Amino acid sequence: MTTPAPAEFPVTPTKLSLPGPAGVLEAATNVAEPAVARAGVAVICHPHPLQGGTMHNKVVTTLERTLRELGLATVVFNFRGTGASQGTFDDGIGETDDLLAVARWAQHVRPRDALWLAGFSFGSYVAARAAPQLPVRQMISIAPPVGRWDFSHLASPLCPWLVVQGEADEIVDANAVYTWVAAQPEPPALVRMPETGHFFHGRLLDLRGVIKNSVRSNLPALVA
């Protein structure tokens, strides 16, 4: 069962139905342990819906757990037409609007928090499209599908930015990602993971460590 969008961020793991531009969006929230909780909330985007991507994807759940262990509150959600989310797939355009709706809800219920965006594969493309319209304080792009989606017109986020790319990615051209990263006006921090495929099979713990080590210096303050 999901509950309607609350006026406050839930203090326990909760499944929600958030209002979106094409109908209800299925979402889930969680919070860090009180001893490590920080004034930040991360919204995490899943891979391509037409290729089996959902908010339950293993890379997405690894991102969620990692950021929560670092002290952030987290929101994962299904794009339109995925799971219990209403609407139909919209080629990244409507999905960007979905992300904006979820992120703005998170900002509304946690107005003093730093907003972080993270995405895996197609989700990283959607996050990159939405970032210029949000006050993002940290961007995390996992296996961005450069060459499969048009990243050329997207502005670099004006915040610290981490890109993680597997060197043995069988879906995304890793060299295209490296070229794209190097061409950014302010290139993001790039971590290349050797012997790692697109879905990070057998490397999820390593991914967790990479993220923690790479973003720790940008963490928001502990909650008083």
- Amino acid residing at 12: T
Both tokens assigned to 76: 């994962």
| CA-to-CA separations, 200 to 53, 57, 76, 142, in angstroms, rounded | 14, 11, 19, 10
In a domain, 222, yes or no: no
In a domain, 159, yes or no: yes
What does the pLDDT read at residue 104? 97
Note down the domain range covering 158: 3-215
- Cβ neighbors of 20 (< 8 A, separation 6 or more) are 80, 85, 86, 87, 97, 98, 101, 102
pLDDT of residue 4: 75
pLDDT the model gives residue 224: 78
> How far is Cα 66 from Cα 63, in angstroms, rounded to an integer?
5
Position 133, amino acid: Q
Which of 6, 26, 114, 3 has its CA nearest to residue 76? 26
pLDDT for 183 equals 95
Cβ partners under 8 Å of residue 4, min gap 6: 16, 17
**Helix extents (H) in 25-152:** 58-69, 93-109, 122-130
Whole-prediction pTM value? 0.97
Residue 14 falls within a domain, yes or no?
yes
Q: Which of 46, 47, 99, 34 is nearest to 73 (CA)?
A: 34
Q: Which residues of the chain register pLDDT less than 50?
A: none
Q: Is residue 220 part of a domain?
A: no
Looking at residue 49, its amino acid is P
The reported pLDDT for the residue numbered 105 is 98
Q: What is the DSSP letter of 7?
A: S
Token pair, residue 2, equals 């999901």
Please indicate, yes or no, if residue 76 is contained in any of the structural domains: yes
Sign of CA dihedral 195, 67, 157, 189: negative
Q: Residue 63's domain is classified under what CATH number?
A: 3.40.50.1820
Dist. CA 168–CA 192, nearest whole Å:
10
Return d(Cα 79, Cα 147) in angstroms, integer: 22
- Structural domain tally of the chain? 1
Question: How many helices (DSSP H) and strands (DSSP E) are in the chain?
Answer: 5, 9
Half-sphere exposure of 44 (CA within 13 A, CB side): 30
For residue 223, tell me if it sits in a domain.
no
In-domain check, residue 50: yes
224 part of a folded domain: no
